[in-house]
């Protein structure tokens, strides 16, 4: 197995931190969704949605790899605003 460069290690740590933060922020939402999927027959198709979405992304992975990576601060601002809105809505 090839050795990871310092930059790759930092990227993996940052990705892990983002995923853990996402899970910590949205665990109540995921819990609610999970219980709703199994309790309410209107939402019984819910477990299929992540699987279908994952399949669609998987089939387009080569096309997605060709998209150039670009940094835009607007995305960061929108992310911070959406996280703050989520935190305030959970506390309300």
Per-residue pLDDT of the chain (92 residues; tens, 9 = 90+): 567 688 888 888 988 998 998 898 888 888 999 999 999 999 999 999 999 999 999 999 999 999 998 888 898 899 889 888 988 887 76
Output the pTM of the full model: 0.59
DSSP string, 27-87: HHHHHHHHHHHHH-GGGTTTTHHHHHHHHHHHHTHHHHHTSPP---HHHHHHHHHHHHHHH
Yes or no: say if 64 and 57 are a contact pair by the CB < 8 Å rule.
Answer: yes
């Amino acid at each position: 197995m090839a050795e990871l460069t310092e930059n790759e290690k930092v990227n993996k740590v940052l990705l892990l931190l983002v995923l853990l933060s996402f899970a910590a922020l949205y665990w109540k939402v995921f819990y609610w969704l999970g219980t709703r999927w199994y309790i309410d027959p209107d939402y019984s198709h819910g477990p299929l949605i992540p699987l279908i979405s994952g399949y669609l992304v998987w089939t387009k992975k080569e096309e997605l790899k060709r998209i150039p990576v670009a940094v835009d601060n607007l995305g960061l601002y929108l992310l911070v605003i959406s996280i703050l809105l989520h935190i305030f809505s959970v506390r309300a």
